[in-house]
Chain A
Amino acid sequence: MTLWKLFPEELQTCLAGLPSSLQHRIEEIRLRNGAPLSIQTGEDSFFVDLAGHPTAPQTAPPIGADWLHRCLEQFTRHSLYAYEQELGQGFLTLEGGHRVGLCGRYTANGHLRDISSMNIRIARARIGVADEILPLLVAEHRVLHTLILSPPGCGKTTLLRDIARGLSNGFPGYAGTQVAIADERSELAACAHGKPQLDVGMRCDVLDGCPKEIAIPMLLRTMAPRVIVTDEIGSPADAVSVQEAMNCGVSVIASAHATCWQEVYQRPSLREVIPLFARCFVLNRQHHVRQEVLHAL
């Protein structure tokens, strides 16, 4: 896997030692200072030794701070200054859209130091996962405002990416339209050197690495999109910019963390914007999608 090349050599050896069937199912790689390397595949989580063999946590050798430092230097491409803003928010996005969550000591000036753990979430494009719901997003040739909900790690971003691809390319009964992606964390399109690394369709513009509250008005002004796709709305500023797009006649497809619409409706920052969505889909841990009706709003 290309991602492995970014890792220090010992870690590469360890991951290369994993059975190939397992390598293709890895969802998360967790590195914690003083704890063994942990691998997450779907619902299973296990520890591995330095040769990549699954082992009991008591016998697996612990990872040291130097591994974390070396990983950080590799992941930031020897350029901590270039990732300062993301690091202050506790994450990094690697080439290919893989997101690295970080923990450590948060300093008063908004920096993260003494990194103590990393969670590397592997991004995979799953072409066709949105095929079943795509026809439900369109009514009278117009894309409906749609909200995708799920707890972390259930595939919201993957589904959102495939929706963007489907709406942009079109599908039976729908010719396709201009889609713009406000990709704040570079996970949806995984742009590298100005080119999406994951398939987001042929009529898709991506504003990469820009906060949503800035990206959405910019896209409205400059790219004349018919649909704006954005991931993980949560802050009041996100809600305001989503509302602005909706009031400009642009359809919004967004995602948020929650297990049902009632939960997300309880979040004060999103309370006003939730009733504006015409469709709501919820993903569970088994990556099953179900539609919810926002009937009580």
Chain B
Amino acid sequence: MLCKLAGALLLFVGCSGWGFSYARTFSKRVEELEALEGLFAHLEGEIRYALRPLPSALEELGNYPLGQLFAETAAQLQHSTELTASRAYLHALHGADLHLKKEDYRVLESLAPSLGICDHQTQQDRITALRKRLELQSRLAREDCGKYQRLAGCLGVLGGVFLLILLL
């Protein structure tokens, strides 16, 4: 009987944990999109004001939360003479541990073709456009978070209860 109870408890905790962890991805996505928007604003400033070369500007961004994506791009550029900025950025983007959706990745990928190969004005315009699209994604992510975060947590708990009833 004790084993049964322990098993049931484990099942319940597991289902609830899964539910809460899934719910957390919604708020994580919001945090990450907002952080990325801030980092791109910083990058835009470095390009607009200081005309700072990309590897050094990206390296600097590496010191901020979520800046690993940029630090990784900078490291790849500095260690290879064959990689383009576009390829290094895409490589780092897909290697990063983020909680973003496919559509968020598509927005972030949209910067790659122009990265480092445009004139000053165009490069700024591309980053501004990316920031606007990230802002929109953040708003959508916040809406999703409001709608589904609690739901996911509750579904996990209720799923656990449902399995308990079914098995006991």
To the question of whether A and B form a pair in one complex, the answer is: yes
The verdict on B147 contacting chain A, using a C-beta distance below 8 Å, is: no
Contact A73 B118 (CB under 8 A): no
Q: Please tell me if A292 contacts chain B, counting CB pairs below 8 Å.
A: no
What residues of A have a CB within 8 angstroms of the CB of B132 in the complex? Answer: none
Stretch of B8-16, B48-56, B160-168 on the interface side: B48-56
- A74 vs B117: C-alpha distance in the bound complex, in angstroms? 11
Q: Are the CB atoms of A82 and B53 closer together than 8 Å?
A: yes
A residues in contact with B123, CB < 8 Å: 80-81
Residue of B nearest to A74 (CB): B81
Residues from chain A with a CB closer than 8 A to the CB of B52 are 79, 82
User: Shortest CB–CB separation between residue A104 and chain B, in angstroms?
Assistant: 14
For this complex, into which size category does the number of interface residues on chain B fall?
A: 20 to 34
**Contact flags (1/0) for A76-96 with B, using CB distance below 8 Å?**
111111101000000000000
**Closest residue of chain A to B120, judged by CB?**
A81
CB-CB contacts of A118-161 with B at 8 A, as 1s and 0s?
00000000000000000000000000000000000000000000
Contacts of B116 in A (CB 8 A): 73, 76, 78-81
The number of A-B residue pairs with CB atoms under 8 Å apart is 62
B54, A78: Cβ atoms closer than 8 Å: yes
| Cβ-based interface call for B97 (8 A) | no
Assembled-state Cα–Cα distance A82/B116 (Å):
9
Contacts of B54 in A (CB 8 A): 77-79, 82
- Bound-state CA distance A9–B83 (Å) is 11
> Does A6 make an interface contact (CB < 8 A)?
yes
Once A73-B116, A73-B117, A111-B119 are accepted as A-B contacts, the answer to whether A81 and B51 lie under 8 Å apart by CB is: yes
Q: Which residue of B lies closest to A7 (CB)?
A: B81
Interface residues of B in 7-59 (CB under 8 A from A): 47, 51-56
* Bound: A70/B81 CA distance, A: 8
When C-beta atoms are compared, the residue in chain A nearest to B84 turns out to be A73
- Give per-residue flags for A1-36: 1 if the beta carbon is below 8 A from chain B beta carbons, else 0: 000011111001000000000000000000000000
- Neighbour of A9 across the interface among B81, B85, B120, B122, CB < 8 A: B81
Residue among A70, A82, A111 having the largest count of chain B Cβ atoms under 10 Å = A82
Q: Residues on A close to B: CB < 8 A?
A: 5-9, 12, 70, 73-74, 76-82, 84, 111
Q: Closest 3 interchain pairs by CB?
A: A78-B116, A78-B85, A79-B53
Q: List the interface of chain B (C-beta within 8 A of A).
A: 47, 51-56, 77, 81-82, 84-85, 88, 115-120, 122-124
